[in-house]
Structure 1
Amino acid sequence: MRHLHKGVSLAIGLAVLGASLAACGGGGSSSGDSGQIELTIGTFTEFGYESLLTEYQQLHPNIKITHHKTGEGGPYHQNLITKLAAGSGLEDVVAVEEGHFSDIIDKSSKFNDLTEIGPKDVTADRWLSWKYDGGKDKDGKLIGYGTDIGPLAMCYRTDLLSAAGLPTDPASVKAMFASWDSYFAAGQQYVQKTGKPWFDASSQLYNSMVNQLDTGYLDRNDQLTIETNPGIKDAWTRITTAIGQGQSAKLEAFGNEWKTGFQQGAFATTVCPSWMLGVVKEDSGPENAGKWAVTDSFPNGGGNWGGSYLTVPKQSQHPKEAAELAAWLTAPEQQLKAFQAKGNFPSQVQDLTSPELLNQTDAYFGDVKIGQLYATQAQKVTKAQYKGPGDGQIQENVTKPALTAVEQGMPPDQAWQQVVDGAKKIVK
């Protein structure tokens, strides 16, 4: 899950997590004379693993699993890097969000090669090819088993669009969301008609636009492209223009005001990678059921935003058992259950044609076939954008606050220079 969407600062939570892990230790250990092996797994936000971990222990009586689960992804990954540097404190199985996976690529020597320690029947064809390749370091060493992905779709409030005189039927909505030009044009109409914002948070849209590019903030040589990649600056110009037109609700994604905005109808559209559906439902509340809809049309053709990997650090005292747990959790059967529990969309090829997935509906969104919709979106992705070291930090610590500054009145050109300077400090 992206888990970059979940990258806000939780200093208190981080301190509590650190204290907790220090108290109980990171990797697993044998449990006295019982012969039982204790494994730990670290995740953030919602992976849908709670019942699966119980099931695994029932299937493996000799395994006891402790689940360290924290809230937002930003502090979690900062803690991960700290523990890697310290050489202790990490769990046996550690989840890494795809946007932060770049930050451990140059530290891959601290992780086990899963092709060596993992079950031999776990092969590349389990996953979509671009997802599997995303779990490798530059030398081709597989350090992560893919969990979910984040195919992009768009969510919108049918009642708010209708009140503004905009179409809500599927064919017309698809045309309206076909490109960024058409999307922002519709947003301008909405603002002029209602005087209310079109979308929730500028960083959500900007991240999606940048993720669609062939090359992101860094090229495959880990060179910063922010001044040479015209697509990045074009996305900046588009989103800051929309801010100037009043299309942004100027909310911080996943903040309290953002959650209240869902409940109060403070905006009409929001970017909806598959993991976002659960967030929309939870934050909008039951009183808004049936008002939200989701379409498989996404500006400029879609893309992927989100998804994670399960890794086995070399700190683990039980790497083989840890790899077996990670492999089981990322098997099609288990990832389908995680999807049904929390909406995390599977990256496993078998699941994308599964009747259980394709026939999955969601009453909150008008009984749309959620599984089929996102399977269609997933097939539109042919390769994952390369994420070099520092990519996630640029997104969370540079572009997001710069966009907030624009929303608060800073001229876009001045904020853009802030982005360039901030990115250069991260990628030296």
Structure 2
Amino acid sequence: MRQRLLATAIATALVAATAAACGAGDAADSKIHLSIATFGEFGYEDLLKQYQAEHPDIVITAHKVGQAAPHHQELFTKLAAGSGLDDVEAVEEGYLAQVLTKADKFNDLSKIGPADAGPDRWLPWKYDAGKSKDGKLIGYGTDIGPLAMCYRTDLLQQAGLPADADGVKALFASWQSYFAAGKTYAQKTGKAWFDTSTQIFNAMHNQHDVGYYDTNNTLVVSSNPDIKSDWDTVTQAIADKESAKLVSFSNEWQAGFKTGAFATTVCPAWMLGVVEQNSGPDNKGKWAVTDAFPNGGGNWGGSYLTVPLQSKHPKEAAALAAWLTAPAQQIKAFVAKGPFPSQVQALQAPELLNTTNAYFGGVKTGALYAEQAKKVAKAQYKGPQDGQIQDNVFAPALQAVEQGKSTADGWQQAVAGAEKAAK
């Protein structure tokens, strides 16, 4: 779930006009035909044209869908069938664990990719997350979603809470201080502190070294004390009336931004556009973003470019994927569509560091999120059904508690659901 979820149209586009004229299967055509499948907004449209201009022997066909789910459903279907995949396939982090269990169906990019696409190009945790358990590099990292916190300055002020850049740091220093401020806010205003318990829980959960699975792919939901602790903390906040009880990305959730239904929301880099679009021009300047995130930092979102073994031109496909994920190109993608780069040099680029956001009071959001990205020590290991457990098990269980189910019964629902999903 990222800014890409806002894209709704499903489009299939031929980037090169010559591809339409010749056709990828034209035996008389001596050019190398590559295809790339993405979803949402990677910011690659102009880059693919540039690549073809610089490589006249290459013709690229781009397939793009609006949302991640249908893209990955098709990817897994074609993997099972053994045919039909594109030369370069994008994989979102929520589906990466499932792809890594099928590492034998993908090329090892550390072996077929260009020499300059080494591990020092990326933040270490981003690079490492793209490797299978046996060390095979499945994907080149594209973007990331370093975490910050967005808040309504006017609503905090009305509750008598600090709302200036320095004052809010104490409120967001830890989860304990965050929920304490939320309890005060709810008591003083009768309104919700945050939008939905699921996003808060996910942010907390992703900060732990061990998540739903250990590195042996053993489900540890019932035995990992951090998961139960997060559950107890978030459900207590629900009981304290801190949650607006909204379903993420629902119509009601989107409307809540305009009406001031909540005062804070977890803000990975891609969320800024979501906040602005849903809040509308009337709320410009009321939202702010702070680099003070409870218990440090974290990441939510990001993707990889892979090269399936089905590709007839794996080295050429790897070269394209490496070029697209080079710092210079990722900065261009960031400027074009906003995906936040994961490359070390890109995080130092003036084009990123000097980027400001007028909607959020002119703060240098590029520099802010670049610093947040550096706070992530390593990516949490994701087991085979990690994404399903997050979205289809814990989210419904938390929502059930928000609708009146007891905390204990909700926890049993989550544990049983996770065990079923993991079978």
Taking structure 1 as the reference length, what is the TM-score of the superposition? 0.92
- Residue 58 of structure 1: aligned partner: 53
Deviation at 1:4, TM superposition (A): 10
Shift of 1:422: 1.0
Among candidates 398, 412, 416, match of residue 403 of structure 1: 398
Q: Is the 8 A contact 1:4 1:74 kept in 2?
A: no
Shift, 1:17, TM fit: 8.6
Distance 1:252 1:55 in 2: 40
Match of 2:32 among 27, 37, 41: 37
User: What SS does the corresponding residue of 1:65 show, helix, strand or coil?
Assistant: strand
CA distance in 2, matches of 1:255, 1:36: 46
CA shift, 1:127, in A, is 0.7
Partners of 1:78 and 1:62 lie apart in 2 by 32
1:361-407 CA-partner distances (Å, limit 9, x unpaired): 11111111111111111111111111111111110111111111111
Q: Is the 8 A contact 1:30 1:37 kept in 2?
A: no
Q: Which residue of 1 aligns with 2:308?
A: 313
1:400-427 residue CA offsets vs partner (Å, 9 max, x unmatched): 1111111111112111111111111122
Matched, 1:369 2:402: no
Runs of 4+ in 1 over 6 A off after TM superposition: none
| Secondary structure of residue in 2 paired with 1:155 | strand
Gaps of 5+ in 2: 13-18
Residues 1:196 and 2:205 aligned together? no
- Tell me, yes or no, if structure 1 residue 323 matches structure 2 residue 318: yes
Which residue in the other structure is 2:235 paired with?
240
The one-letter code sitting in structure 1 at the alignment partner of 2:269 is: S
1:5, 1:202 → 2: CA distance? Answer: 22
For the Cα contact (< 8 Å) 1:5–1:204, is it kept in 2?
A: no
Q: How does 1:217-228 map to 2 (within 5 A)?
A: 217-228=212-223
Task: Tell me which residue corresponds to 1:21.
Answer: none
Give the C-alpha shift of residue 342 in structure 1: 2.6
The alpha carbon displacement at 1:5 in A equals 9.2
Give deviations 1:153-192, integer Å, cap 9, x for gaps. 0001111111222111111101100111111111111111
| Root mean square deviation, CA, Å | 2.2
How many positions carry a matched residue from both structures?
Answer: 414
Q: In the TM superposition, what whole-angstrom CA distance separates every residue of 1:126-148 from its partner, at most 9, and x where no partner exists?
A: 11111111111111111100111
Equivalent residue, structure 1, for 2:140: 145
Contact map agreement 1:205 1:271 (CA 8 A) in 2: yes
Distance 1:341 1:220, change over 3 A: same
Residues in 1 aligned to 2:141 and 2:304: alpha-carbon distance in whole angstroms: 4
Distance 1:57 1:5, change over 3 A: closer
The whole-number CA distance in structure 1 between the counterparts of 2:328 and 2:42 is 14
Q: Write the distance in 1 (CA, Å) between the matches of 2:367 and 2:11.
A: 38
Q: Distance in 2 between matches of 1:4 and 1:108?
A: 27
- Asked if 1:387 is matched to 2:367, the reply is no
Residue 80 (structure 1) shift: 2.0
In 2, the alpha carbon distance for the partners of 1:253 and 1:5 equals 14
**Number of the residue aligned with 2:271:** 276
Pairwise CA distance, 1:29:
3.9
1:160 aligns with 2:150: no
- Range that drifts further, 268-277 or 351-360: 351-360
Q: Distance in 1 between matches of 2:250 and 2:53?
A: 38
Report the Cα distance in structure 1 between the residues aligned to 2:147 and 2:40, rounded to whole angstroms: 19
Structure 1 residue 98: deviation in Å?
1.5
Equivalent in the alignment of 2:409: 414
How far 1:66 sits from its partner (Å)? 2.6
Instruction: Name the counterpart of 2:342.
Output: 347
